[in-house]
Amino acid sequence: MQQEINAPRAKCGVETTIAVVGGKWKPMILYALLSGPRRFGELTRLIPEITQRMLTLQLRELEEDGVIAREVYKQVPPKVEYSLTPLGLTVEPILSCMQQWGEHYANTRSMNEEHSSDQRRNEL
C-alpha cells in the first residue's frame, strides 16, 4: 500500500505539453519559429520583452527537448539559426488554437468592457 502512494504518477498529456512548451516565453518563441528559421537577434526583436539570458535559457531547454534545432554556420562572424524540428512542427495546431483563442478572448473582454462602461454612463 505504501509503495502505491509513493509510486511516480504518470503525467497526462496536458501536463507533459505544458512541461515542454508551456510558460511565458516558449510559446512566443515557437510561434516566431513557425514562419521559418530565425537568428537570435531576430527573436529578440520579435519578442522585445524577453531578456537575452532568458531567451538563451528557453532556447536551450527547447533544444534539449527536441522541439527546436540549433544550426551553427562556420563563418566569420559566426551565424546561428534556430528552427523547429519535425517534432516541433507538430505544435503548430496548438499555437494556432492559442492564437485564435487569445483573439477571441481579447475581443470578448473588449466588448464586455464597452458594455460595462455604457451601463455606468446610463446609471449616471
CATH number at residue 19: 1.10.10.10
Using alpha carbons, list the distances in angstroms from residue 99 to 12, 46, 120.
Answer: 23, 16, 32
Question: Which three cell numbers, joined as nine digits, stand for 57?
Answer: 535559457
Question: Which three cell numbers, joined as nine digits, stand for 52?
Answer: 537575452
- Residue 70: what pLDDT? 97
54 within some domain: yes
CA distance 27 to 97: 12
109 within some domain: no
46 within some domain: yes
- Checking if the pLDDT of 119 tops 80, the result is no
- List, for residues 38-75, the tens digit of each pLDDT value: 999 999 999 999 999 999 999 999 999 999 999 999 98
* DSSP string over 25-64: SHHHHHHHHTTS-EEHHHHHHHSTTS-HHHHHHHHHHHHH
What type of residue is 92?
E
Domain count, the chain: 1
- Checking if the pLDDT of 17 tops 50, the result is yes
CA distance 107 to 101: 10
51 within some domain: yes
- Residue 38: what pLDDT? 97
Structural domain span for residue 78: 2-90
- Residue 54: what pLDDT? 97
83 within some domain: yes
